[in-house]
Structure 1
Amino acid sequence: MTDLTDPRYSAMNRPSPPRRLITRLLDQEDLNFLLTNRVPRALLTRFMGWFSKIEQPLVARLSIGIWRLFADLDLSEARERHFASMHACFTRELKPGARPIDTDPAVLCSPCDAIVGACGALDGTTALQAKGAPYPLIDLLGSQERVDACRDGQYVTLRLKSSMYHRFHAPADLEVEHVTYIAGDTWNVNPPTLKRIEKLYCKNERAVIRARLSGHDAVLTLVPVAAILVASIRLHWLDVLLHTGYAGPTEIPARAGFRKGQEMGWFEHGSTIILFVPPGFALCEGIAEGQPIRMGEALLRAR
């Protein structure tokens, strides 16, 4: 297996002529939308799930090499130096200490590496998918009880690029109380698609995780949303892989405690996590749409 963290491969992280061409093409929003959505999304996602797990050195090396043409993939922080498959690279762990955790007990840290999307105060029980594109929480969460726990609170949308670290972690000391799995579509979740598909997050496959913050009664809601090529979500405390072929049950009672920064699960590729908190929290300074953030950095603060 090729060591893809070797310094000799660092040049591959610089934009190559093919990647620059691909980037220019994908920067054209209409073309980007067509290429990443007007395809057999479910079929392509199932194929990628199978193909990415092939453990053959040549297949793995070529797959990861092609991936680099499309993304700024940096493997220098990966715990492992060798990857048996593209899937192993997708779901890679990081070296110990690569993501320091904000230890302030009043702070909720980011659960993942991401680009911050729509965020801020909820309008009652309505959030924004993108500028001028609201969606009601009942369509996303599927239960009035879950909606009421978020009413008038704050939310942050965290979009994981395909090249990013794909595991997500507890933003605070908490106890998971329940998981609701909602099967759905696999639309891309990039900005061009968010502008064009109404209520996209409410259409895609997702898991609604209800957790209670340790030490007080506040309910935190985490919603990992799957997308094209990534319709599989692994949660450590469940013994099933949540994906489009999972028949249920939809409601999954669960009890699992996590310390701040402890790994909760991962996406098979990369997608979106939406975090909801009740009134009493505010966005930390510097958190705004388009801002990159790393797992463990300050995201929300209790007032």
Structure 2
Amino acid sequence: MKKKIYLYIQRFLPKLFVTNIFGYLSKKKLNIITTFFIFLFIKFYKINMKETKYPNIFYYKTFNKFFIRKLNMFNRPIDNNKNHIIHNSDGIINEIGFIKKNKLFQFKGCKYSLYNLIGYNKYINKIFTNGNFINVYLSPKNYHRVHMSYNGILLKMIYIPGKLFPVNNIITNNLCNLFVLNERVVFLFKTKFGFMIKILIGAQIVGSIHTSWYGSIVPPRKNKILTWNWPYINNFNKKDFIFLKKGEEMGYFDIGSTVITLFPPKTIKFNPILKKGFKIKVGELLASF
């Protein structure tokens, strides 16, 4: 009953309004109130501050600065094997598997469309049909910066407007098509093993999505699909192409959400130990080629 009530409330809650209010408050310097709230948050979620670059909570003047805290990357060693692809974030695996008949599995009885997920792009859809995917949830306790899984050139960035439903377990396992309903940003990369897509999913209270090369993509929020294109590697003008190294930071969520990674068919093999519910960290082995 509680689950049904929660789902009903989420369908009618003014999610953008809630997100904007929370985003505004999270960026306010409230001095001791901010510090106390951060302290409670750390205790409630059992966050290991020893892993962070700045473990003293008084360093963080706003809750937002705490939430996008940087780690001491010595605590996230990068797998440097040239044939290994790494996890791009900390989190929990929602789903992992094949893209079958142009569909990605969400929960029993629900599959969502690849074509819709990537922004109705026929060319990209063709590349990734029958490929592989992994869906990772970044909970409130997790590190919320996203890193590059392998050396790659950014070819395309697509902003797709949408809803701002939460992406917690209750919603993910009960609201079909969640990831094509929600706002998201799609990144298409060219790598040594082929193409790769990263999709950062927006959600309720996710104040914004940032990238290291562009800054804030969301906000401002638009009611139309926006596309940015960059030339391929043959053009070495630094202003014209974006190259990210394996393990390099590619962006962050102001508040937690989900990252989906897509691979074309027959290009990679997932680490066999990975499965739904598995906890992962940046730099660990995701797949090989």
| Fold shared, TM-score > 0.5 on shorter chain | yes
> What is the alpha-carbon distance in structure 2 between the residues aligned to residue 131 and residue 75 of structure 1?
37
Measured after TM superposition, the shift of residue 196 of structure 1 is: 2.3
Change (3 A) 1:36 1:93: farther
Structure 2 residue aligned with 1:185, among 163, 172, 175? 163
> What is the alpha-carbon distance in structure 1 between the residues aligned to residue 40 and residue 14 of structure 2?
21
For structure 1, list consecutive stretches of 5 or more residues without a partner in the other structure.
1-27
> What is the alpha-carbon distance in structure 2 between the residues aligned to residue 140 and residue 45 of structure 1?
22
Measured after TM superposition, the shift of residue 122 of structure 1 is: 1.2
Match of 1:4 in 2: none
Which region of structure 1 is more displaced relative to structure 2, 161-170 or 59-68?
59-68
Structure 1 residue aligned with 2:213, among 225, 237, 244? 237
Change (3 A) 1:241 1:139: closer
Asked if structure 1 preserves the Cα contact closer than 8 Å seen for 2:87 and 2:286, the reply is yes
Structure 1 residue aligned with 2:229, among 253, 274, 296? 253
Asked if structure 2 preserves the Cα contact closer than 8 Å seen for 1:232 and 1:268, the reply is yes
Asked if structure 1 preserves the Cα contact closer than 8 Å seen for 2:161 and 2:225, the reply is no
Measured after TM superposition, the shift of residue 106 of structure 1 is: 1.5
Where 1:286 maps in the other structure, the secondary structure is: coil
Match of 2:234 in 1: none
Match of 2:18 in 1: 44
Structure 1 residue aligned with 2:152, among 157, 174, 190? 174
1:131-157 deviation digits (Å, cap 9, x = unpaired) = 331011111112111111211111000
Asked if structure 1 preserves the Cα contact closer than 8 Å seen for 2:209 and 2:216, the reply is no
User: Which amino acid is 2:172 matched to?
Assistant: L
Where 1:76 maps in the other structure, the secondary structure is: helix
Measured after TM superposition, the shift of residue 117 of structure 1 is: 1.0
Alignment of 1:8-23 (within 5 A): none
Measured after TM superposition, the shift of residue 233 of structure 1 is: 0.4
Q: State whether structure 2 residue 76 is matched by structure 1 residue 92.
A: no
> What is the alpha-carbon distance in structure 1 between the residues aligned to residue 273 and residue 5 of structure 2?
32
Change (3 A) 1:189 1:301: same
Where 1:45 maps in the other structure, the secondary structure is: helix
Match of 1:274 in 2: 260
Q: What's the % identity of the aligned pairs? A: 23
Where 2:179 maps in the other structure, the secondary structure is: helix
Match of 2:95 in 1: 118
Asked if structure 2 preserves the Cα contact closer than 8 Å seen for 1:185 and 1:205, the reply is yes
Match of 1:222 in 2: 198
Q: State whether structure 2 residue 277 is matched by structure 1 residue 290.
A: yes
Where 2:60 maps in the other structure, the secondary structure is: coil
Match of 1:300 in 2: 287
Measured after TM superposition, the shift of residue 124 of structure 1 is: 3.0
Match of 1:202 in 2: 180
Calculate the TM-score normalised by the size of structure 1. Answer: 0.84
Structure 2 residue aligned with 1:133, among 87, 110, 116? 110
Q: State whether structure 2 residue 135 is matched by structure 1 residue 157.
A: yes
> What is the alpha-carbon distance in structure 1 between the residues aligned to residue 188 and residue 153 of structure 2?
9
Asked if structure 2 preserves the Cα contact closer than 8 Å seen for 1:59 and 1:85, the reply is no
Equivalenced residues, count? 274
Match of 2:37 in 1: 63
User: Which amino acid is 2:21 matched to?
Assistant: F
Change (3 A) 1:31 1:233: same
User: Which amino acid is 1:262 matched to?
Assistant: E
1:144-200 deviation digits (Å, cap 9, x = unpaired) = 111112111110001000110000000001111110001111101112112222211
> What is the alpha-carbon distance in structure 2 between the residues aligned to residue 39 and residue 63 of structure 1?
25
Asked if structure 2 preserves the Cα contact closer than 8 Å seen for 1:181 and 1:208, the reply is yes
User: Which amino acid is 2:64 matched to?
Assistant: H
Change (3 A) 1:39 1:169: same
Which region of structure 1 is more displaced relative to structure 2, 132-141 or 69-78?
69-78
Change (3 A) 1:155 1:43: same
> What is the alpha-carbon distance in structure 1 between the residues aligned to residue 143 and residue 50 of structure 2?
11
Change (3 A) 1:73 1:37: farther
